[in-house]
Amino acid sequence: MSEPTCLVASTICRTVELGLTITGAAIAEDLTWIECRPVENDPRCPACLKPGRLRDHVDRVLTDLPMVGHPTRLRVRVPRFTCADTDCEVAVFRQRINTVAAPKASTTRRCARWILQRLAVDKMSVAAIARALGLGWNTVNALAGSLARELVFDRPGHLDGVRYLGVDEHKWKHRRGQGDPDFVTVIVDLTPVIDGTGPARLLDMVPGRSKAALAEWLGKRDNNFRSRVRVVTMDGFAGYRTATAEALPAARAVMDPFHVVHLAAEKLTMCRQRIQQATRGHRGRVGDPLYGIRRILLTRTDLLTDKQKTKLAAALDHDDAHLPVKITAWCYQDLIAAYADSNKRSGKLAMFKCLKRIRTGLPAGLEELAQLGRSLWRRRREVLAYFDVGVSNGPVEAINGRLEHLRGIALGFRNLDHYIVRSLIHSGQLQDRINAL
């Protein structure tokens, strides 16, 4: 190829960024082969730093970014030198091209960065990336995993600035039976959401869903990290609360409002089903009053239409046997109203009064409400803490949803280590670090 042609080709393929100039090109089946050489020779010995004598050239094949939809291979003609210093321990050495590729790597540095960008930004599957590069699935997955571990675990500062944590369980493998090996504990940094600087980011995933799983992870963090954490949001699982209290005594635990309302909704549904059986002798059927309001009962009062309100009143007010359902529904709506109060102080007071009313001394027939009262009263500090700090587990649930999407893209995972690394790439907000590679 002529010099002007090589210059144009190097500009179009952007090999100039790598310090390479193109000398030729060819097409072999689906691969585009590009012949190139270093723009500048560097004959210095890596041991003694003295210039050596040119001996010959060797070819190094590297996978680069796909060109116009086809996999690309760079065949780099690398000079090889003989060290002129007879006392040097190195006799023969190649010119270093570390700006192009890492030592012993089979891909260029920009190709490795491109792989992570496609996974993190475009949410592509490993299989799709492997097809675009003309590489094997295992090669791409191993490369992405090693780079992600380096970005997350091997670089200092990954946990700097974390003051608000969110903790939740996540089922990473769906199969018959229920067991802890199918669950992980998800740990999320909520600080960017609270500060208004960006979305929440996934910090790590720990095998299991227990007090020990969270306590072990927190115990491995340094004292600076543990002293910075001010708030930890969680669901109703007592193990997470205990682990937080022991490992982060200065942090404030917050029980997420969604889980509080969800627990109350479960008790309301159980009460309705029990009364349905007691009054009708069978499960709910079309035409049964309580069965007909099963969804209306769980809807916030302000969102009900006039028709729904009439139907609700007809089912609850015209039969004294339905009174337990009516009382439980009142308490359910009181919990929602307390969270919806724009004044956090009055909302906290309303929540405390509601919890105090149902904590003990309820008459017979309100078993589900009594269970709810005992459960929430034991966790009243975490429930009421929400009104003081205003931090919820909503962003954690959002990341859980994105991880479900990731698992669908990959058609499931069998290896937990792969799943954790891919999840960190997908939801760990690593874009800036990836672009800096």
300-326: per-residue pLDDT in tens?
Answer: 999 999 999 999 999 998 888 999 999
Task: Note the pLDDT of residue 432.
Answer: 74
Which residue ranges in the chain fall short of pLDDT 70?
1-6, 176-180, 436-437
Task: Note the pLDDT of residue 2.
Answer: 62
Identify the burial level of 287 via C-beta atoms within 10 angstroms of its C-beta, where 0-12 means exposed, 13-18 middle and 19 or more buried: exposed
Report the alpha-carbon distance of residue 152 to residue 167 in Å, rounded.
19
Domain positions in the chain: 3-106, 257-389
User: Phi and psi at residue 11, in whole multiples of 5°?
Assistant: -75, -45
Identify the burial level of 403 via C-beta atoms within 10 angstroms of its C-beta, where 0-12 means exposed, 13-18 middle and 19 or more buried: buried
232-264: per-residue pLDDT in tens?
Answer: 999 988 999 999 999 999 999 999 999 999 999
Q: Please name which of 248, 243, 253, 187 lies closest in space to residue 216, comparing C-alpha atoms.
A: 243
User: Phi and psi at residue 232, in whole multiples of 5°?
Assistant: -130, 120
User: Phi and psi at residue 20, in whole multiples of 5°?
Assistant: -120, 150
Report the alpha-carbon distance of residue 125 to residue 298 in Å, rounded.
39
419-437: buried (b, 16+ CB within 10 Å) or exposed (e) per residue? bbbbbbbbbbbbeebbeee
Q: Which residues contact 301 (CB under 8 A, 6 or more apart)?
A: 333, 337
Neighbours of 259 (CB within 10 A): 20
Task: Note the pLDDT of residue 14.
Answer: 80
Q: Which residues contact 100 (CB under 8 A, 6 or more apart)?
A: 18, 19, 20, 62, 76, 108, 109
Task: Note the pLDDT of residue 271.
Answer: 95
Task: Note the pLDDT of residue 63.
Answer: 94
Single-letter code of the amino acid located at 112: A
* Tokens 């102080």 found at: 345
